[in-house]
Amino acid sequence: MSLLNKLTVDGFKSIESCELELQRLNVVIGPNGAGKSNLIGVFRFLNSVLSKQLQLYVGEHGGPDRLLHHGEKTTPKMSFRFDFGSNAYSFCLKPAVGDTMVFDWETIFFHDVRYPRPWSLQIGAGHKETALHDAASTAGQGQRVAEHVLQGVQGWVVYHFHDTSSSAPAKKTQDIDDNRAFRPDAANLAAFLYWMKLTHPTEYRHVVEHVQLVAPFFDDFTLEPSRTNPNKIKLEWRQKGSDAYFDGFSLSDGTLRFICLAVLLLQPSLPSLILLDEPELGLHPFAITILSEMIEAAARRSQVILATQSVTLLNQFSPEAIIIADNDGLRTHFRRLAEQDLSSWMNDYSVGDLWEKNIIGGRP
């Protein structure tokens, strides 16, 4: 697994220009409207590009003028570059007729350490959807590099478990074999837990034990195929000392979100990059502390980028993991916090205290 080493963005929403070095754990903080969610949004946008849904994304988000930094009169193009391992993927988009966007260029890179400059290949220009899949499946120059690039970027997933309404995907009846990967909205939560219980009992028990820490009344999940349709399954569970029936609708919003986060972070095989926007939403402070431990453990096996406004969550991480998002009224700036900059403060204050006191910035 190759870590995403550097992210370069120009002209996307509030991000006029950004070149950000990344580590295994990256915690983005900042006030409302600073643009920290736009950093996570870069990867949502990338997911749409890779799914060949660029035009759908552009249309659903109000057209090119809403995506380009201060509109297309100010910013005629936007570009992205993702450097990971010995590869990189880069593309530039510009507005086209009919409120659409086209690729100005799309390029893949491979850097052999024996040579001073990376090898690169432009795989297209003027096209409306990515050419990366075609480059990876077509024999010829760059096919192997395109395969590596595609495999790498497809492992970067944005997860969002905010929906705990009566129509939440996690609460619905699910296909029992939908277990190849944990879905970004937890739409296969029961099916994935069932698969973990059958094939990875140790990791399954870790999930149960972590849920019990934040919900002491919780005994275990009841995971069985539906009696009326063995191809279906739904989230069911037991409460200690009770023989009543409980399902996903019986869980509090915070408990359901914590279960989703526990499954994501404790699963046997993690995505190469996990992205989370305000994962602390609806969680008790103690649950946030447990969440931070799971995040740090996941970052040792994978890579994590998360945006947060929780002082409790921030206090659990070292200063080196923190990226501060500020907005000067025109653009978003990102900077990584350096522990040496805080050496005179850290003996008396936590990082969260310094954030609240506006010592490190990232406040309104």
- Whether residues 89 and 53 share a domain: the answer is yes
Q: Are 257 and 161 in contact (CB under 8 A)?
A: yes
Domain stops at, among 216, 248, 274 = 274
Asked, for residue 215, whether it belongs to a domain, the answer is yes
- Whether residues 141 and 26 share a domain: the answer is yes
- Whether residues 82 and 223 share a domain: the answer is no
- Whether residues 115 and 89 share a domain: the answer is yes
Burial class (CB in 10 A: 0-12, 13-18, 19+), 330: exposed
Any idea which residue has 């447990």 for tokens?
A: 290
- Whether residues 137 and 216 share a domain: the answer is no
Q: What is the pLDDT of residue 267?
A: 98
* Helix or strand holding residue 26 (H, E): strand 25-29
Asked, for residue 102, whether it belongs to a domain, the answer is yes
Q: Are 4 and 82 in contact (CB under 8 A)?
A: yes
Rounded to 5 degrees, φ, ψ at 303 are -140, 140
- Whether residues 135 and 236 share a domain: the answer is no
Domain stops at, among 213, 247, 274 = 274
- Whether residues 151 and 177 share a domain: the answer is no
Asked, for residue 306, whether it belongs to a domain, the answer is no
Largest pairwise CA distance in the chain: 68
Asked, for residue 280, whether it belongs to a domain, the answer is no
Q: Are 146 and 130 in contact (CB under 8 A)?
A: no
Q: Say whether pTM exceeds 0.75.
A: yes
Hey, what amino acid is at 181?
Answer: A
Q: Are 206 and 301 in contact (CB under 8 A)?
A: no
Asked, for residue 184, whether it belongs to a domain, the answer is yes
Asked, for residue 305, whether it belongs to a domain, the answer is no
What's the 3-state SS for 129-168?
Answer: CCCHHHHHHCCCCCHHHHHHHHHHHCCEEEECCCCCCCCC
Hey, what amino acid is at 131?
Answer: A
> pLDDT tens string for the chain (364 positions)?
789 999 999 999 999 999 999 999 999 988 888 899 999 999 999 999 999 999 999 999 999 999 999 999 999 999 999 999 999 999 999 999 999 999 999 999 999 888 888 899 999 999 999 999 999 998 887 999 999 999 999 999 999 999 999 999 999 999 999 999 999 999 999 999 999 999 999 999 999 999 999 999 999 999 999 999 999 999 999 999 999 999 999 999 999 999 999 999 999 999 999 999 999 999 999 999 999 999 999 999 999 999 998 889 998 998 889 999 989 889 999 988 765 555 544 555 566 666 665 655 555 5
- Whether residues 202 and 113 share a domain: the answer is no
Total domains in the fold of the chain: 2
- Whether residues 228 and 268 share a domain: the answer is yes
Domain stops at, among 274, 308, 343 = 274
Q: Whose CA is closest to 1, among 80, 81, 87?
A: 87
Q: What is the pLDDT of residue 113?
A: 82
**35-39 contacts: CB < 8 A, separation 24 or more?**
35/325, 35/327, 35/332, 36/307, 36/325, 36/332, 37/277, 37/307, 38/12, 38/13, 38/14, 38/332, 39/15, 39/305, 39/307, 39/325, 39/334
Asked, for residue 265, whether it belongs to a domain, the answer is yes
Asked, for residue 64, whether it belongs to a domain, the answer is yes
Q: What is the pLDDT of residue 358?
A: 61
- Whether residues 126 and 56 share a domain: the answer is yes
- Whether residues 63 and 202 share a domain: the answer is no
Domain with 83, as residue range(s), is 4-155+318-356
- Whether residues 34 and 169 share a domain: the answer is no
